[in-house]
Amino acid sequence: MKKRYAFLWRCLFYVTGVICMAVGLTLNTKTQLGVGSVASIAYAGSLVWGLDYGRLTFVVYMVAILLQLLLKKENRHWRICLQLPFSAVFSALLTVFGKYIRISPDTVWQRLFVLFAAIGFTALGLLLMVDMKLIANPADALADTVGSLLRRDVGFGKNVIDAISVMLSCAIGLAVAGKVVGIGLGTIVTMLLTGRMVSFFRSHLEQKIQALAGISTS
């Protein structure tokens, strides 16, 4: 019975993490300050090539899955392959949330408020999904992999992936449109703060939620 309740907690935390992540990424697109770091690759591509943002997000996630398989080497796990169908579902979820979350902040302060809310939701979603050790968002799983390879936590890995994503987005815009697109103050703030926010949530919540979910913290 105890294991059953632990599994229910695990599923609840995971689903909450997925929703938080989708809400956070969607809110980021509403700020008009530039989208989140990883999302900026697909967003920049959608602007310069006129392609669907959700579909390009799926392509970015496939690349993240391939990089995990390359970086993990002997530590590869079959669960990584489950990130592919997850990516399809999550990309569709982003499309739905983008349609129904209808907010248009007008002032700078409103946009900044939405931005910090987006960062908080994204960071919490990342932590919940990674900590439940089920099927992670490919970009976040890649951040966790990079953090482990660098002997640091997932928050630091997130900082590294965010920085690389912003550079790639700038390169796409400059190469195709001759200017940087989709990158703004919000992108830079997200790149700098999301990883630190993940580390904050991790220090305050990780042991508690993993204990409820019956996951060893050793």
Which residues are CB-contacts of 54 (< 8 A; sequence separation ≥ 6)?
91, 92, 94, 95
Q: Measure CA 144 to chain center.
A: 11
Given a contact cutoff of 8 angstroms between Cβ atoms, the answer to whether 150 and 52 are in contact is no
CA angle 166, 36, 178 (to 5 degrees): 45
Question: Which of 198, 57, 63 minimizes the C-alpha distance to 126?
Answer: 198
* pTM of the entire predicted model: 0.78
Q: Tell me the pLDDT of the chain (218 aa) as tens digits.
A: 567 788 899 999 999 999 998 899 888 888 888 777 788 888 888 888 888 777 888 889 899 999 998 888 766 677 788 888 888 888 888 888 888 888 888 888 999 999 999 999 999 998 898 888 888 788 878 988 898 888 887 778 888 888 898 899 999 999 988 888 878 888 888 878 887 888 899 888 888 898 888 887 55
Element (H, E) at 163: helix 154-176
Residue 125 to residue 99: CA distance in whole angstroms: 20
Given a contact cutoff of 8 angstroms between Cβ atoms, the answer to whether 182 and 34 are in contact is yes
